[in-house]
Each structure stands twice: as C-alpha cells, then as structure tokens.
Structure 1
Amino acid sequence: MTAQNSATRPASVAVTGGTLLAAAGVLAFSLTFPATVWGLESFGPWSLVALRGVLAALIAGGFLLAVRVPVPARRHWGPLAVVAAGVVLGFPMLTTLALTTSTTAHAAVVVGLLPLTTAVFAALRTGGRPSRTFWCAAVAGAAVVIAFTLQQSGGALSTGDVYLFAALLVCAAGYTEGGRLARLMPGWQVIGWALVGCLPLSLLVAGVALTVEPVRLTAQGVTGLVWVAVGSTFFGLYVWYRGMAAIGVEKASQLQLAQPLLTLVWSVLLLGEDLATAAPPAAVAVLLCIAVTQRARA
C-alpha cells in the first residue's frame, strides 16, 4: 500500500462513519412525530413536553459531567437561551399542541420546510447575501406549504397549522444560534447545556401539569415519551452533530431531505394514518426547493 493510499483510507473511513452517524440522526428525528402521538395516549401535551425535557436534561447533564465539560462562558449564555427557547421548549411544545389536532403526515409536510426556514434565518442573522436562485427556491417552498395547508383546511389556517408555522420560526432561530455557537464548542455541548439550562423550568412545568392533566399509562404511551426524550432529543441530536462535524453541513443537510418522507412512511406503518393525496407530492416539492437552496448556498 502506498503512502497516498494509507493517507486517503482513514479519511474515507471517517466520511463513511460520519455519513452513518448523520443518517442515524435523521432516522431518529423522523420518528419524533409518531412517538409524540404515542406519548399523547398517556400524557397531556404539557406533561409530555415537560417530562421529555426533564429526562433529556438528566441524560445530557450526566454526560456533560462524565466528560467534565466546563460551564460555557457568560457571553455564550444569551445564544444558549435562544437555543433553549427555540429547540428545547418552543418547537416541542408547539408541535405537540399541533399534533393534538393535526395528523402526523400533515405536520411532516409543514415542518419539512424547517431546513429552508433555518437557511433564511441564517442568511439574515449572518448578513450573508444568498443568490437570487436561493430566494426564489425559498419563496417557492413556502408557497407550496401554504397552498398545501390551505387546501387541507378548506381555505383557512387551522389552529394546528398556526402552531406548526410558529414552531418553524422558533426552531429556525434556535438552530441558527446553535450553528453559530457550534463554531466555538462542539454542537452536542450546545444542545446539552441548553437542555440543562431548561431543567428547573421543565421540572416546575412537569410538577404542575401532572396534577392538572390526566395520566393514563400504557406501554405505547411510555414508549413514545422515552423515544422523544432519549431517541429524538438526546441520541438524535448527538449523532447528528457528530456526523455533521465529520462530513460537513452541506452534505449532512442533503441527508435531512429524506426526513419528511420517512415521517410519512412511519405515519402509515406505526399509526395507520391515511395519507392525503396531496401530501406526498407536496413533500417532494418542498424537498426539491430545499435541495435548490442548499446548492445555491454552496
């Protein structure tokens, strides 16, 4: 084996490993909505989100302690608060409330716009100047989602749609700040400290919500809670950030294009939902728009 071959082989192995990690993250994320629906069988929406935050924060806190990660500098607390408000609190709460009235397939199509919304937030936050192609694709993707939601709800936005669009905005803001912080510390530490920072509030909300909302423990409901806390919030974000660091944001984002379609599959297989005729073509159209924006950014 030549010196050149021995040098390129570890690099290719690292890329392959990074791709597998990022793909595992996408798979974990795609199960979030079906698992949330399962969790709602046993818990109210506020209880489910609060318990999700508590369990994920305990795991993240234990992990941070185990590897002795230092507390972030005070100048990073503001951006971490934005990450916590958008990713740890806002997005889970708003999407959980939406899923009390919307189907998983419907939510998957709307939230499929998240990578594009994040790209727009990032461009505005960093003062970048994306190309005209980027903005055309962004507007087209938004138009597809708005048309889909109006068609599904009879010409007016439903309460669930309002929750989903609000979830897009707060999560995109959280992802944008998280991406900026990830240049200064590993991405998994960003989400880990955001989870830990929300632990007192999560405990308070859980304590109140569990006394107000009914609890009907079932195997499926508890499984849903465990998955959204451990699988989606902790494991999914951990392997996603590790994989993204290995293969780069651009390549990882291409893998994430499969997430809405995977969620549509899970909605049928796990929940037995009947897909609306417009759902698959709308999801594909959104993915195409996102792919154009990613290529335009690159």
Structure 2
Amino acid sequence: MAVALSKTQRSGLLFAFLGIFAFSLSLPFTKLALKSFDPFFTAFARPVIAAVIAIPLMMIAKVPMLPRNLWKPTAFTAAGAVFGWPILIALALQRTTSAHVSVIAAVMPLVTAIIAVIKHKKHPGLSFWVASSLGTVLLVAFSITRGGGTNADLKTDLLIIGAVIASSYCYVEGAALTSHMPGWQVISWVVVVSLPIALPAAAFVYAQTNADYSFHGDALFGLLAIGLSSMYLGFFAWYRGLRDFGVAHGSQVQQLQAIMTLGWSALLLGETVTLTMALSAIGIVLCVLWALSNVNRVK
C-alpha cells in the first residue's frame, strides 16, 4: 500500500539519493588512488582536500563559530567519517577487491537503521525490518555474483566491519547535528576540526611512503574525487536527506549504492553485468521501496 509523502519527505528522499549517488563512486575512486598512494595517506588527505573548499565557503557564508556543546558530537562524527571509514576501508581495499568489500559493507544500511533506532528510540515497525533485512540479504547475494565472495581473510573482513560501524555511527551522529545547522555546515565543521590531525598526518605519511609508489594520473584523479565528492559534497545532500526523511528510512536508500557502484564499474572499468546481477538489483530496489513505504508508520 502506497504511503503519501510530505513535501519535506520527498525532498529528503531526493537529497538522500543524490548523496548515495556521490558515495557510489567512493570504492572505485579509492581503488584508483591506491595505485599511487599509501592507504593511510588517502585517508588523511581526504579531509585536507575537502577543507580547501570548506574553509572559503564558510568564510563567504559567514558561518558562526561552532557552539561549545556541539564540539563533542562533531568530533565523534569526524572520528567515523574522516578517520574510521577512510582508514579502515583503504586498508581493506589494499588486501582485497572492491567486490568483496561490498559483500560485507552491504549490511551498512541495516546497521545505520539499528543505531538510529537505539539513539532516537523510534521504531519503524516489523514490515520495515523485514524489508530492510531482505534487502540486505539480496545485497550480499548481489555482491557475491560480482565475485565478492573470495580473495579475503578474517583480518580483512574485520577491517570492513569496523569501517561499516564507523560510517554508520557518523551518519547517525552527523544527521542529529543537522537540527542545529544545515548539512553542508555539519560536514564543513567535521573536516575543519579534523585538520589539526589530518594535515600533519598526511604530510608525514606522504614523506615516508611516496618513494614506494609510482605516479599515475588516474590515481591523482581518484584521490581528488574522494576528497571533493565522497568526503565533502556527497555529505551536503546525504545529511539533508537523513534530516528530512529520517535516519532509519533514509539509510535504506543506501542499498542502491551497490547497484550504482556496479554501474560505474561497468562504465569505467569494463566489468560485465550478468542476468543474476540484474535480477538481484531489481529485488533490492523493490525492498527499498517496501521499506520506504513504511515511512509514516514510525512509532
């Protein structure tokens, strides 16, 4: 049964989709960056690149200083978005394929919804959880059909699980901050407060490791892309979407990320799309629509 969405919810759904569209490029671009850069450098450089845009933008908009009571949640958001996910996922990608990462990362929408329910004490209802769980199962199956069930070990899987928890937590924490400021200001402050750590760390790691890697133009492009899109611009839309649509339901849009990533991989890297992948993708879309149909039934 279709559920009518309010104007704010429709806007939130659109922004959440735009955020996921930007994030869908994260894994292939990170994989490109690792051709020429150390995984720790790619992680620390992301917020530095984002800050190059964030600081002038904040100055032009005359953004007020961050209130003292928001420093703690902003720091927690930065811990997950700036350091936790980028470092752990880059280390995992150095050990395995993006296809295998997507198998375990498929549980991220469900983990995000669980953390949101615990934090905000709102319960979407049984049908939401059934749809979300079924979508997660299909996501895993979808990823395995891409060859993601091999070429990894326990340490790699633990890195991915840690990255998923860090990312899910920063989504929930960052979305809560949008009740105090616009989403673009949230992510701007996140990258700015991380600079005292990220900037010297990036310089140190680069000095220690740059001799070990050969330069590739597409690797530099990948690094700049994850810094500008995945680390910054994508969060503009994503945090706005989670605020307006609700974190639990908005996070389910993220199930579409694997499909988009596959599309980018086929377009940019020449990967083949099989019938099984296409059928799994259709099932995932239906599960997302099912989960979103319960948006106005939250208790």
Report the TM range for the smaller structure's normalisation. 0.7 to 0.9
Deviation at 1:269, TM superposition (A): 2.7
Deviation at 1:104, TM superposition (A): 2.1
Q: Are residues 191 and 285 of structure 1, via their aligned partners in 2, closer, same or farther at CA, if it must alter by over 3 Å?
A: same
2:127 is matched with 133
Q: Tell me, yes or no, if structure 1 residue 114 matches structure 2 residue 114.
A: no
Deviation at 1:278, TM superposition (A): 7.0
Aligned ranges for residues 132-211 of structure 1 at < 5 Å?
132-141=126-135, 153=149, 158-211=154-207
| Whole-angstrom distance in 1 between the partners of 2:295 and 2:245 | 13
2:46 is matched with 52
Provide the identity percentage: 33
Deviation at 1:199, TM superposition (A): 0.6
Deviation sequence 1:179-221 (CA, Å, 0-9, x none): 1111121111111111111111111221221122234222101
Deviation sequence 1:120-169 (CA, Å, 0-9, x none): 110011122332233344444555667777x9546995433222221111
2:224 is matched with 226
Amino acid at match of 1:221: A
Say which of 258, 261, 267 aligns to 1:263: 261
Amino acid at match of 1:77: W
Q: Are residues 155 and 255 of structure 1, via their aligned partners in 2, closer, same or farther at CA, if it must alter by over 3 Å?
A: closer
SS at match of 1:198: helix
SS at match of 2:36: coil
Amino acid at match of 1:267: S
Could you tell me the TM-score, scaled by structure 1's length? 0.80
| Whole-angstrom distance in 2 between the partners of 1:241 and 1:154 | 34
Deviation at 1:40, TM superposition (A): 0.6
Say which of 86, 91, 96 aligns to 1:92: 86
Most deviating of 54-63 and 270-279: 270-279
Deviation at 1:69, TM superposition (A): 0.7
Say which of 195, 215, 218 aligns to 1:217: 215
| Whole-angstrom distance in 2 between the partners of 1:169 and 1:15 | 26
- Residue pair 1:18, 1:244 contacting (<8 A) in 2 also: yes
| Whole-angstrom distance in 1 between the partners of 2:168 and 2:195 | 22
Q: Are residues 131 and 243 of structure 1, via their aligned partners in 2, closer, same or farther at CA, if it must alter by over 3 Å?
A: closer
| Whole-angstrom distance in 1 between the partners of 2:95 and 2:275 | 19
| Whole-angstrom distance in 2 between the partners of 1:22 and 1:160 | 29
1:237 is matched with 235
Amino acid at match of 1:173: Y
Q: Are residues 288 and 107 of structure 1, via their aligned partners in 2, closer, same or farther at CA, if it must alter by over 3 Å?
A: farther
- Residue pair 1:86, 1:171 contacting (<8 A) in 2 also: yes
- Residue pair 1:55, 1:229 contacting (<8 A) in 2 also: yes
Q: Are residues 248 and 297 of structure 1, via their aligned partners in 2, closer, same or farther at CA, if it must alter by over 3 Å?
A: closer
**Structure 1: runs of 5+ lacking an equivalent:** 1-10
Say which of 15, 21, 25 aligns to 1:27: 21
Amino acid at match of 1:66: I
The size of the alignment, in residue pairs, is 286
| Whole-angstrom distance in 1 between the partners of 2:251 and 2:150 | 33
